[in-house]
């Protein structure tokens, strides 16, 4: 499951998880679509253009517990970095759980995620 799915699942059932990791997630679906529409011809089959998921709105309503952990990371060359930086600032100011944002060297690829996944798992079990 990708970072988008992990965040969506967390916000749907927040009490089910002690910790969640988000690696290179799409956190702003509308911006993602506007910037990448040509790459995603089937996008409209998945999302309603008039009702994109709004994680910011959901995060304002969902109360994460202080003992829950949220690990969020993005590569310094990942094409999703700007929207993740904005989300990180929001999360730092609006969630009360244990939140960690990490910018790793690399992009939106499995080579980077393989290393980052190990770092994320170590943080989650500490």
Judge whether residue 1 has pLDDT over 70.
no
Q: What percent of the chain has pLDDT over 70?
A: 98
pLDDT number for residue 39 = 75
Angle (nearest 5°) at CA 58 between 52 and 92? 115
Cα dihedral across residues 91, 39, 105, 2: positive or negative: positive
> Token pair of 42, please?
């089937």
- CA 28/CA 44 separation, integer angstroms: 15
- Average pLDDT estimate for 62-90: 95
Please provide the average confidence, as pLDDT, over all residues in the chain.
90
Cα dihedral across residues 1, 84, 115, 37: positive or negative: positive
Summarize pLDDT for 8-61 with one digit per residue, the tens.
899 999 989 999 999 999 998 888 888 877 777 777 777 776 777 788 888 888
- Average pLDDT estimate for 81-101: 95
Task: Report pTM.
Answer: 0.88
pLDDT number for residue 38 = 75
Summarize pLDDT for 12-26 with one digit per residue, the tens.
999 899 999 999 999
Q: Please answer whether residues 115 and 87 qualify as being in contact, where contact means their C-beta atoms are separated by less than 8 angstroms.
A: no
pLDDT number for residue 47 = 73
């Amino acid at each position: 499951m990708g970072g988008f799915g992990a965040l969506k699942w967390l916000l749907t059932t927040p009490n089910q998880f002690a910790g969640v990791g988000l690696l290179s997630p799409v956190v702003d679906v509308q911006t993602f679509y506007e910037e990448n529409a040509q790459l995603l011809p089937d996008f409209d089959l998945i999302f309603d253009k008039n009702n994109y998921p709004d994680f910011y709105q959901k995060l304002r309503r969902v109360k994460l517990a202080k003992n829950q952990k949220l690990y969020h990371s993005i590569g310094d060359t990942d094409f999703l970095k700007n929207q993740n930086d904005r989300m990180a600032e929001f999360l730092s100011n609006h969630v009360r759980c244990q939140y960690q944002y990490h910018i790793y060297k690399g992009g939106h690829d499995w080579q980077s995620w393989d290393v980052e996944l190990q770092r994320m798992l170590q943080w989650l079990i500490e």
